[in-house]
Chain A
Amino acid sequence: MTTRKRQIKNFTSNFGPQHPAAHGVSRLVLEMNGEVVERAEPHIGSLHRGTEKLIEYKTYLQALPYSDRSDYVSMMAQEHAHSSAVEKLLNCEVPLRAQYIRVLFREITRISNHSLALTTHAMDVGALTPFLWAFEEREKLLEFYERVSGARMHASFIRPGGVAQDLPLGLCRDIDSFTQQFASRIDELEEMSTGNRIWKQRLVDIGTVTAQQAKDWGFSGVMLRGPGVCWDSRRAAPYDVHDQSDPDVPVGTRGDRYDRYCIRIEEMRQSLRIIVQCLNQMPSGMIKADDRKLCPPSRCRMKLSMESSIHHFELYTEGFSVPASSTYTAVEAPKGEFGVFLVSNGSNRPYRRKIRAPGFAHSQGLDSMSKHHMPADVVTIIGTQDIVFGEVDR
């Protein structure tokens, strides 16, 4: 009897777009040998909405809400990137109060993003309760968003030239009372997880990334600080008033999931510090640049003065024109380095706006991070990379 030569193929399983833990629409084709993952191939594109193409047909102000929606859990960070890029091209000076408000809301966004990322990650690992505790805190933060801009999530608040409107009365006091109780909330979250043996067993030495690998793959943010590379855009290339507030930058040692989890918790505490500093140091003044060719006037002015009326009309129909040049501006979004490469051709519409999303680079590393682990670990590696498919697929 002759034996036929057959190729043994690995068991392919579709960790499909419809999955309770796929963090959006992610299609991962897992090739498994028994219960060990040999290869994890992400197939992206299920959430492609044609953002960059659509932006080419909109004015700079109309293109702002697209940035909200790319990473839909950390909204104001993206708006900040877009606005900074436009201001760089315009060579426009943002008033000091506007800068402080931007930093304040950026750090609120960071806390909101980390509380979602950490606790959905915890839910993937199996701890079902911190998710609900963190979302209660997130409700309070979304209430701040709503009071300042009118929308709970996609605020369109940080605009080229400053911010859209001034802070309403009483908001700073409420943010202050939030900060006073939030530190104990973080303690509660940590109590459930950080010292827990099962948690450590699931997280330590899983999904390890070395510093060289992180730099090669183009990781940024927490994924880069996990293996020990101390790079934070707020420190390396400070923008707005970050050089006046002085956060500590937490850096990990081993580059595994436990390190990244601890870094995110510590970043939440540092953001709390920055928020308190901003509230203490907030100056009074204008919240938009003084140039009426760039920033619309307030409504009462618009109704009284002819020139303001004309400015309002021009800005909201045609928009402002930006000199022809290009720039790459990156901010430290909660997920990593969110960059905007903006090319303008002198008209009121961008010629090209390319988004550099941190999740895109991180999802490339998924295969190397999840080799020889089990499918249970693949789920949690997606969670620790904090991938949101809005920004990966755009």
Chain B
Amino acid sequence: MIIYATEVQTINSFVRLESLKEVYGLIWIFVPIFSLVLGIITGVLVIVWLEREISAGIQQRIGPEYAGPLGILQALADGTKLLFKEDLRPSRGNTPLFSIGPSIAVISILLSYSVIPFSNHLVLADLNIGIFLWIAISSVAPIGLLMSGYGSNNKYSFLGGLRAAAQAISYEIPLTLCVLSISLLSNSLSTVDIVEAQSKYGFWGWNLWRQPIGFIIFLISSLAECERLPFDLPEAEEELIAGYQTEYSGIKFGLFYVASYLNLLISSLFVTVLYLGGWNISIPYISILELFEKDQIFGTTIGIFITLAKTYLFLFISIATRWTLPRLRMDQLLNLGWKFLLPISLGNLLLTTSFQLFSL
């Protein structure tokens, strides 16, 4: 059979185009992921700056002002400094555990960002189990803390790691029960569905009004999960120096620091999504869908902006709480979680279920 050269060339180029398309397809998977990660890291930098400025305001002083205009590059400067520090390893500690510990804490939090909707259909993975992914993956983080504490060969770190794990698992249960109540209200675990269920009636459609007790319990539990004051016992400087972070230096310590703020950001975003209506403008009679129809990019941007504005509210509350309230002792903390929040969240769940049953 005679195969003409030109046909072979066209066949070859066609085949190459197909493989190129696959390659492009593969690359195109990574672009949203990287852009999300970039956005999150920028968000963390902003939160670090925010925390320093707000705490400075509360404490009657000026925050960072030398690194960049208004000190916004301060977090980058700190990160760069940490990169240049010596990477200390405890001599008789368990080095693999010691090295992997911080990474596990960060990875588990980063994975949870994939289910948060930043705007109408601007979500990395619109899973059916949505919010349950966050709950499940955030349970992996205490393992990282335990590994860090144990691998440091230091009594203080070990105590700190144990405390961190105990605190995390104690406050996961009220958190999960509140989330369960929300999903009952919205008939779905998917975050996009939860936000859309709050889009009627604008401001009054927020889950905040339908689940006031749940909101407060969620706030307290998420502060405890993030290990921020008044629950920052694992890193209480006054007792355990820095708990499980004591022996860390350089960028591994930076990872813990970043993990703490990542955790805070994702808790705030989840508060927004679950209770404050997500990306909806929330002024009655203005629907973002109309804006979205007119101009997709404009509508999406407005949605992102609104999500971030609502997130800022919770961020401000948690930062102000950190610099105002004293710290709880370990047994008081566990008492609060098991003996107070757990029965109340169970009661909340029962109430929600009975209302749902009666309304059917």
A199 and B326 contact, CB distance less than 8 A: yes
A195 in the interface (beta carbon within 8 A): no
Candidates B325, B330, B331, B332; contact of A127 at CB < 8 Å: B325
Instruction: Known contacts A123-B238, A198-B230; decide if A129 and B326 are in contact (CB<8 Å).
Output: no
* B40-78 contact mask (Cβ, 8 Å, vs A): 1 or 0: 000000000000000000111100000000000000000
Can you name the residue of chain B whose Cβ is closest to the Cβ of A198?
A: B326
A375 to B329, CA, bound (A): 9
A129 and B59 contact, CB distance less than 8 A: yes
Can you name the residue of chain A whose Cβ is closest to the Cβ of B242?
A: A20
Instruction: Known contacts A132-B59, A136-B60; decide if A124 and B330 are in contact (CB<8 Å).
Output: no
A151 in the interface (beta carbon within 8 A): no
A21 and B230 contact, CB distance less than 8 A: no
Candidates B61, B229, B330; contact of A374 at CB < 8 Å: B330
B304 in the interface (beta carbon within 8 A): no
Instruction: Known contacts A19-B241, A20-B237, A129-B323; decide if A376 and B329 are in contact (CB<8 Å).
Output: yes
A94 in the interface (beta carbon within 8 A): no
- Residue numbers in A under 8 Å from B325 (CB-CB): 126-127, 196, 198
- Residue numbers in A under 8 Å from B60 (CB-CB): 132-133, 136
- Residue numbers in B under 8 Å from A19 (CB-CB): 241
- Residue numbers in A under 8 Å from B59 (CB-CB): 128-129, 132-133
A199 to B327, CA, bound (A): 8
A21 to B236, CA, bound (A): 10
Question: In the complex, which residues 110-138 of chain A have their Cβ closer than 8 Å to any Cβ of chain B?
Answer: 122-129, 132-133, 136
A129 to B322, CA, bound (A): 9
A35 in the interface (beta carbon within 8 A): yes
A46 in the interface (beta carbon within 8 A): no
A35 to B330, CA, bound (A): 9
A193 to B330, CA, bound (A): 19
B33 in the interface (beta carbon within 8 A): no
A324 to B193, CA, bound (A): 92
B330 and A202 contact, CB distance less than 8 A: no
A54 in the interface (beta carbon within 8 A): no
B236 and A126 contact, CB distance less than 8 A: yes
Question: In the complex, which residues 14-45 of chain A have their Cβ closer than 8 Å to any Cβ of chain B?
Answer: 19-21, 35
Secondary structure at the B interface, as helix, strand, loop or mixed, is loop
Instruction: Known contacts A128-B323, A374-B329; decide if A379 and B230 are in contact (CB<8 Å).
Output: no
* A121-162 contact mask (Cβ, 8 Å, vs B): 1 or 0: 011111111001100100000000000000000000000000
Question: In the complex, which residues 80-97 of chain B have their Cβ closer than 8 Å to any Cβ of chain A?
Answer: none
A374 to B61, CA, bound (A): 34
A127 and B324 contact, CB distance less than 8 A: yes
A91 in the interface (beta carbon within 8 A): no
A129 to B328, CA, bound (A): 16
B155 in the interface (beta carbon within 8 A): yes
Can you name the residue of chain B whose Cβ is closest to the Cβ of A132?
A: B59
Instruction: Known contacts A126-B325, A133-B59, A198-B326; decide if A374 and B331 are in contact (CB<8 Å).
Output: yes
Question: In the complex, which residues 304-328 of chain B have their Cβ closer than 8 Å to any Cβ of chain A?
Answer: 322-328
B239 in the interface (beta carbon within 8 A): yes
* B134-171 contact mask (Cβ, 8 Å, vs A): 1 or 0: 00000000000000000000011000000000000000
- Residue numbers in B under 8 Å from A20 (CB-CB): 237-238, 241
B239 and A125 contact, CB distance less than 8 A: no
A3 in the interface (beta carbon within 8 A): no
- Residue numbers in B under 8 Å from A122 (CB-CB): 326
Instruction: Known contacts A35-B330, A198-B326; decide if A129 and B230 are in contact (CB<8 Å).
Output: no
* A235-256 contact mask (Cβ, 8 Å, vs B): 1 or 0: 0000000000000000000000
A379 and B239 contact, CB distance less than 8 A: yes
A123 to B59, CA, bound (A): 13
- Residue numbers in A under 8 Å from B229 (CB-CB): 126, 128
A2 in the interface (beta carbon within 8 A): no
Can you name the residue of chain A whose Cβ is closest to the Cβ of B325?
A: A198
Can you name the residue of chain B whose Cβ is closest to the Cβ of A20?
A: B237
* B237-249 contact mask (Cβ, 8 Å, vs A): 1 or 0: 1110100000000
**A-side interface residues toward B, CB under 8 Å?**
11, 13, 19-21, 35, 122-129, 132-133, 136, 192-193, 196, 198-199, 201-202, 374-377, 379
Instruction: Supply 30 A–B pairs (Cβ within 8 Å), ascending by A.
Output: A13-B156, A35-B330, A122-B326, A125-B326, A126-B229, A126-B230, A126-B326, A126-B328, A127-B325, A127-B327, A128-B323, A129-B59, A129-B323, A132-B59, A132-B60, A132-B61, A133-B59, A133-B60, A136-B60, A193-B326, A196-B325, A196-B326, A198-B326, A198-B327, A199-B326, A201-B328, A201-B329, A374-B329, A375-B239, A376-B233
